[in-house]
Amino acid sequence: MAVHPIEYRYGTEEMRYIWGEENRFNCIIAAEIALARAEAVHHLVPLAAADEIERCAHHASLARAREIEEEISHDMMAIVKSIAEECGDSARWVHYGATSNDMLDTATGLQVKQSLELVEQKLKKLLSVLLVRSHENIKLVCAGRTHGQIGVPTTYGLRFAIWASETGRHLDRLNEIRPRVAVGQMTGAVGTQASLGNMGIEVQETMMTILGLSHVDVSNQVISRDRYAEYFMFLANVATTLDKIGVELRSLQRTEIGEVEEAFGKQQVGSSTMPHKRNPIKSEQVCGLARIIRAAVEPALLNNTLWDERDLTNSSCERILFPEATILTDHVLAVMIRVLEGLHVREDRVRDNLNFLQGINMAESVMIELTKKGMDRQDAHEIVRMTSMDALAGKRPLAEVLGNHSSVTVLLTKQEIDELLNPDNYIGTAVQQVELVIEKLHPMTL
């Protein structure tokens, strides 16, 4: 019976497989094979034994390891025994010189490496979609908002480009953290490599080269968890960007704003009692799950504060943190990609909202021009502020109020006022900024 929603509701099959028991078992098998091969290279075990371990270890089964664990209550030793049963005379060389976490942490490194490859693919797809939407809407002028209030104009192209730029930085971060978090170790019981004599450093380097992982410089019995904390902070950062996008899309879909809409299927139901509802449920799902992903950060940090050369307090915690946070991050990336691909921008409502304040939101452009014409900037600010308040109170167009103010009309003609209050004329370098972002980030999508 499925219990956790990542078992049946959230997550992709690919990421669930990475963090499932079968792949975890296979990663440990791969680590054991790589250890034997590295030890053979450096003449610590016979080459024939390494060959036999590599040939036979894949015949070990998760089911058999579970049976053994029931008897001995040690998960790693159960896997070692299940491998040894398949390896004949070479069984004595299985797990030679290793402690449990040499294999367990190295297996985690393999899973993290696999996970980052999937996350990277989705981040590239997300970036590609955002760049397309940026280009599509590069000149779509809309109301900018600060503090929830309409301000001077911006463009939808710039909004999408800001999210694209953030996503590009996540791809940079991913490549920066990969060698620090996709890492393995072969350091023995307390980190001294004493069981490998004077060949420990070489064995570790060769083993991790075989596995395609970075290796630790030093460790105790476990890899220092600052590495994993960085991994979870990266996931939380990605999730927070998606949360940020989701919050904005939900706000813009409010009935009284109505500038965007999530794609809505012909048979989709919005409410069990209000038949008219078209709710932004996918964006809301992303925002909700982002909270769970961020919640992994504190326990991940605490997992680095272990006693002496190690204790076991991190182990049970990580069995939950890694699959949950990683699967959910992969899931919300996939969801947000679909949301953005299907997002409908209602240009009629965009224009309605842009003109909603009858020019009052363009007050800054008038103030700037009055200053250019010779008025003191502070005086210009006060005059435009007062005329804006009068226009708001009287529900009148700002152009009308400005046209009746002698301090304004002595410097500006009616035609100039109308031009200054046209939002299409006040987007600065927004188009050029978007073009530069697209040019810079497009290569990252390839």
pLDDT averaged over every residue in the chain = 96
DSSP string, 248-291: HHHHHTSTTT--EE----TT--S-SS-TT----HHHHHHHHHHH
CA distances (Å), origin 409, targets 351, 402, 403, 406: 28, 7, 6, 5
Q: What is the pLDDT of residue 272?
A: 65
Q: What is the pLDDT of residue 278?
A: 83
Model pLDDT for residues 141-159, shown as the tens digit of each residue: 999 999 999 999 999 999 9
**What number of other Cβ atoms are within 10 A of residue 165's Cβ?**
17
Q: What is the pLDDT of residue 116?
A: 98
Give yes or no for residue 184 having a pLDDT over 70: yes
Q: Which is nearest to 30 in space by CA: 82, 107, 108, 94?
A: 107
Model pLDDT for residues 219-269, shown as the tens digit of each residue: 999 999 999 999 999 999 999 999 999 999 999 999 999 999 998 776 777
Positive/negative CA dihedral, 246, 247, 252, 257: positive
Which residue ranges form the domains of the chain, and what is each CATH number? 5-45+96-133+153-256+277-345 (1.20.200.10), 352-425 (1.10.40.30)
Active site residues: 147, 271
Q: pTM for this structure? A: 0.95
Report yes or no: 422 and 411 within 8 Å, Cβ to Cβ: no
Model pLDDT for residues 393-412, shown as the tens digit of each residue: 999 999 999 999 999 999 99
Q: In the numeric block, which tokens belong to residue 188?
A: 């023995």
Model pLDDT for residues 271-288, shown as the tens digit of each residue: 666 777 688 999 999 999
